[in-house]
Amino acid sequence: MSAVLPPAQGGEVLDTVAVAQADLASGGGFWHDVFRRLRRNPAAWVGAVIVLLFLLVAALAPLLAPYPERALPGTEYITPTGIPGIGEVDGFPLGLDRFGGDVLSKLIWGAQASLLVGVVSTALGLVGGMLLGLLAGTFGGWVDTLIMRIVDIILSVPNLLLAVSIAAILGQTPSAVMIAIGASQVPIFARLLRASMLQQRSAEYVLSAQTLGLGRGRITMSHVLPNAIGPVIVQGTLTLATAVIDAAALSFLGLGGGRPETAEWGRMLTYAQNELAIAPQLAFLPGICIAVTALGFTLFGEALREAMDPRTRAR
């Protein structure tokens, strides 16, 4: 479950970003032009609204949720199904789950838990991948060869399988899930930044800086890295979508840690599968939340990639 671009598409991102940066260098408006095209893209608006909506729900969960996260109703409620805690009850718009928890409150608190895991894990993967890519792209030689061989070995293992293995080793805790998903994303960012930096190193402005006697570190940090980071930003936005899905998948497999009644979308799916016949909404609602959140990040990420493509400038 990875959002890494296919080889042809990834190379296309690198090429088009480099062309756009060089083309707009004289006007100094590359990012201004990107934002202008984003504002004119309906998909960007739809994705941004979806993402912003879920971020607001997560941030305002204490105010929006009818019940506190640790004080959900108990199983003393007998529902129309005859089973405590499953079905519709007056005062609970979306009903109760098997633990007697208010489903609406759990969905709201679940947005906070799921998005936190997705954002933190992507940040960890981004930082680790950029560090490796920066070292490989700056020093080259045996450093580049060593780092890329390690990256190739990691990439030979499917992302979700690698995340499951790491989470199982580290323990069933939310922190372990964040580290596991982040570690599985490191090779993606490392290879992308390294390739982008190698492309930038052959640009004329780098040769001019070397002629002026600027050091390797200054050229890399002041010139190469700022111009090479564009594709990484796009990939980071796209990876947020798969991070949310992977977090839900690990929780569904029982690797997310916490108590069974914890408000988290993936965990809600785990305990809803046995009640599909009598209360299908217990599975459909968290599933819809996961899908819509991933859709929002994907739409915005694709719009950002398109906005950084100079061939769409005339549209």
Domain harbouring 70, CATH code = 1.10.3720.10
12 domain-assigned: no
pLDDT, greater one: 89 or 17: 89
Whole-angstrom Cα distance, residue 302 to residue 42?
12
Residue 252 and residue 312: Cα distance in Å, rounded?
40
Q: Please, what is the angle between helix 230-252 and helix 174-201, to 10°?
A: 160
Q: Classify residue 133: in a domain, yes or no.
A: yes
Looking at residue 184, the DSSP 8-state letter turns out to be H
Tell me: the pLDDT tens digits for 150-194?
999 888 888 888 888 888 888 878 888 899 999 999 999 999 998
Range of the domain at 104: 50-75+85-312
Cα distance between residue 148 and residue 177, in whole Å: 25
The residue behind tokens 């990484």 is 232
* Model confidence band, residue 212 (pLDDT cutoffs 50, 70, 90): confident
Torsions phi, psi for 166 (to 5 deg): -65, -45
Q: Is residue 38 part of a domain?
A: no
Residue 14 lies in a domain: no
pTM of the model: 0.78
CA–CA dist 177, 254 (Å, integer):
11
Q: What is the pLDDT of residue 17?
A: 45
- Does any domain span residue 237? yes
* Banded model confidence at residue 29, pLDDT cuts 50, 70, 90: low
Number of domains in the chain: 1
